[in-house]
């Protein structure tokens, strides 16, 4: 088992409560409601701090109005004025610290949502099979983990508390304007606000559409960058740099245009607020001046009312900001939610956690890929006893790799069964199955680490002696010692500093270090020369005592020592037996063997 599997299982274990307690497909509202319940203490403390801010905010204008009236009536001496000003300054300082405090509590909780969503997404993706990734673009999934989760996180943090703060402030300010100053002036001053609500409704619809398009365009840009970097050698070899750069420029412009369009619609909130408050202020000064003229209101009361009206700026801006964040979060969740809730392509419903030594048996095994009609495997039977070696050969597209994919449970059989130690593979947990299989694929993957660390992935606590031992078995030790820093040489991204044959042999060393009961080599010697292949096979013959091995290869010399070999064509077994039997049969295997022997003799000459 590789360290990758260890990491996946560790992450799955740590994230299990998040996945189990996470929302179902009920939408963004269900996600946020569940998150708030789990972090209720932080939200309550932040809400209490905001309530204190709101109370002090509505107290200040009333106190200013009182001071103005007292000064006009000459009822306030210098010490009294100093005392009142001190109270106002203290209130301002308290507001500052309370605002800092609620942000600390709130965003500490909101960042946990982003962390839990990223953990859930990562865990979900590691459990999905190849069928899922055939439908999903890598760049799109990367955008889910970055921009989309950021948008949802902002909705859980900034949007929720800004909405609470704005609503509470609005209610208290309107109440003070109505009950504490003059209900007639309040009624007249609030006349323009329904028009602002109508404008907000219209703007929010466009904000949602604009952000949905912006996130999608960013995803396409991300996909292009990822593909270009992954295939940079091909791009350079074919001279496609200018074409790729032009395409990138087009995608970047589209992403920038849609983002600008979303920002433009968000900016429309501010003029709506400004126009509404300017109109309300003009009405207030006009009608308030009339009430003073009629001696039904004092200058201090009008001052207080005007300051309250100014305090409505934040609730109005908060409303626009909250609507924008909610629409952005809804657009992001529409992309992220289906990925988190998409069923696993292969269910991990097995309860058996250990695989006892026993035969590996295929019974009438058949499989058809979801996007195809022709069977990739058709009625395949074999029995592989513990410690034996099974060879799989045949023309390209015969079904060899498909059989390995079924063995690894990347797909489930369409018909028939695969049994290990008498139990169907579906009865074993994926963890138990991955622990029991060491697999070297046709294109082995090396991580951006040293050679030793890449080999040690299969056994993180392995000593240097163990690493060198398996490297010698894989005939790569001498190559490693010629590297600038030996085993401590970084291999670069995807093993870019090593040759194809060196990549394969490092991957074989990693698989041998895992010491799993089943070793699968999927054409894993295709990039090495015949001499190196012979050395590796000789070493592996000594190292695989008691270990079951499945070898897929186009070079038949790798299968001479196989106890049993299946020759596949169009998904069916057309020949089978050991090397001597197949050569004597004079079928496809024998013809291919003679051709490869002739080719080897010509190369030797």
Q: In this predicted structure, what is the pLDDT of residue 549?
A: 87
35, two tokens: 């998150």
Does position 29 have pLDDT exceeding 80, yes or no? no
Architecture of domain 360-553+566-604 in CATH? 3-Layer(aba) Sandwich (3.40)
Please give the residue that has the higher pLDDT: either 85 or 4: 85
- Which of 156-160, 430-434, 504-508 bottoms out in mean pLDDT, i.e. has the lowest? 156-160
User: What is the C-alpha separation between 561 and 361, in angstroms, rounded?
Assistant: 20
Calculate mean pLDDT across residues 128-146: 79
Mean pLDDT (whole number) for 413-425: 88
Per-residue burial over 422-439, b if 16 or more Cβ lie within 10 Å, else e, is ebebbbbbbbbbbbbbbb
* Residue labelled with tokens 């704005």: 166
Whether the predicted pLDDT of 238 surpasses 80? no
Smallest CA-to-CA distance from 548 within 419, 380, 391 is with 391
15-129+136-341: CATH number: 1.20.1560.10
For residue range 161-207, what is the model confidence (pLDDT) as tens digits?
A: 777 777 877 787 788 778 777 778 878 888 887 887 788 778 777 87
* pTM for the structure as a whole: 0.65
Is the torsion defined by CA of 234, 236, 239, 242 positive or negative? positive
- pLDDT tens figures, 285-310: 888 888 888 887 787 778 777 777 77
Using DSSP's 3-state secondary structure scheme, residue 568 falls into strand
Strands 389-393 and 423-424: unpaired
Asked if domains 15-129+136-341 and 360-553+566-604 share a fold, the reply is no
Cβ neighbors of 186 (< 8 A, separation 6 or more) are 174, 177, 178, 305
pLDDT in tens, 304-337: 777 777 777 777 777 777 877 887 888 888 888 8
DSSP conformation class of 516: -
- Domain extents in the chain: 15-129+136-341, 360-553+566-604
- Identify the CA nearest to 57 among candidates 158, 159, 173: 173
State how far the Cα of 417 lies from the Cα of 364, in Å rounded to an integer. 7
Q: What is the pLDDT of residues 475-523, one digit of tens each?
A: 888 888 888 888 888 887 665 667 777 888 888 888 888 878 888 888 7
Task: Report the alpha-carbon distance of residue 278 to residue 272 in Å, rounded.
Answer: 10
């Amino acid at each position: 088992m590789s360290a990758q599997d260890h990491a996946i299982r560790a992450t799955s274990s740590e994230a299990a409560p998040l996945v189990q307690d996470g929302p179902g497909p009920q939408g963004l509202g269900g996600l946020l409601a569940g998150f708030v319940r789990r972090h209720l203490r932080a939200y309550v403390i932040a809400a209490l701090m905001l309530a204190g801010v709101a109370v002090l905010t509505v107290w200040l204008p009333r106190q200013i109005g009182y001071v103005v009236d007292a000064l006009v009536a000459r009822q306030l001496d210098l010490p009294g004025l100093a005392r009142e000003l001190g109270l106002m300054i203290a209130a301002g300082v308290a507001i500052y610290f309370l605002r800092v405090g609620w942000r600390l509590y709130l965003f500490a909780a909101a960042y946990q949502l982003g962390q839990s969503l990223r953990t859930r997404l990562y865990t979900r993706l590691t459990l999905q099979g190849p069928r899922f990734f055939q439908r999903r673009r890598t760049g799109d999934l990367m955008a889910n983990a970055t921009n989309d989760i950021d948008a949802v996180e902002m909705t859980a943090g900034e949007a929720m508390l800004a909405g609470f703060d704005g609503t509470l402030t609005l209610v208290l300010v309107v109440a003070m304007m109505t009950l504490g100053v003059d209900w007639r002036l309040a009624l007249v001053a609030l006349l323009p606000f329904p028009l602002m609500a109508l404008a907000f409704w219209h703007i929010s619809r466009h904000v949602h559409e604009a952000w949905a398009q912006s996130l999608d365009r960013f995803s396409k840009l991300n996909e292009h960058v990822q593909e270009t970097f992954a295939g940079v050698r091909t791009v350079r070899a074919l001279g496609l740099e200018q074409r790729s750069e032009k395409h990138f420029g087009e995608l970047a412009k589209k992403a920038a245009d849609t983002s600008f369009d979303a920002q433009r619609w968000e900016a429309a909130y501010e003029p709506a607020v400004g126009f509404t408050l300017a109109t309300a202020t003009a009405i207030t000064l006009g009608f308030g001046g009339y009430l003073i003229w009629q001696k039904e209101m004092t200058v201090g009361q009008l001052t207080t009312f005007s300051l309250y009206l100014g305090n409505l700026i934040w609730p109005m801006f908060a409303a626009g900001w909250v609507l924008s964040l909610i629409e952005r979060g809804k657009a992001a969740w529409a992309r992220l939610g289906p990925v988190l809730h998409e069923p696993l392509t292969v269910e991990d419903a097995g309860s058996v956690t250990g695989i006892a030594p026993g035969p590996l048996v295929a019974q009438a095994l058949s499989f058809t890929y979801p996007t195809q009609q022709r069977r990739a495997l058709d009625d395949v039977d074999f029995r592989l006893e513990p410690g034996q070696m099974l060879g799989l050969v045949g023309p390209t597209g015969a079904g060899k790799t498909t059989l390995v994919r079924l063995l690894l449970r990347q797909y489930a059989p369409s018909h028939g069964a695969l049994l290990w130690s008498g139990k169907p593979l579906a009865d074993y947990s994926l963890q138990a199955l991955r622990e029991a299989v060491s697999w070297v694929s046709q294109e082995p993957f090396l991580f951006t680490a040293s050679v030793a660390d890449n080999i040690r992935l299969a056994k993180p606590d392995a000593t240097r002696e163990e690493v060198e031992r398996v490297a010698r078995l894989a005939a790569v030790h001498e190559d490693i010692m010629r590297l600038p820093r030996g085993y401590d040489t970084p291999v670069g991204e995807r093993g870019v500093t090593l040759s194809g044959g060196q990549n394969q042999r490092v991957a074989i060393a990693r698989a041998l270090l895992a010491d799993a009961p089943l070793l699968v080599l999927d054409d894993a010697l295709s990039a090495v020369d015949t001499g190196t292949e012979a050395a590796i096979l000789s070493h592996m013959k000594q190292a695989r005592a008691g270990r079951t091995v499945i070898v897929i290869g186009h070079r038949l010399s790798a299968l001479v020592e196989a106890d049993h070999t299946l020759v596949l064509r169009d998904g069916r077994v057309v020949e089978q037996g050991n090397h001597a039997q197949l050569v004597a049969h004079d079928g496809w295997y024998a013809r291919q063997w003679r051709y490869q022997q002739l080719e080897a003799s010509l190369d030797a000459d």
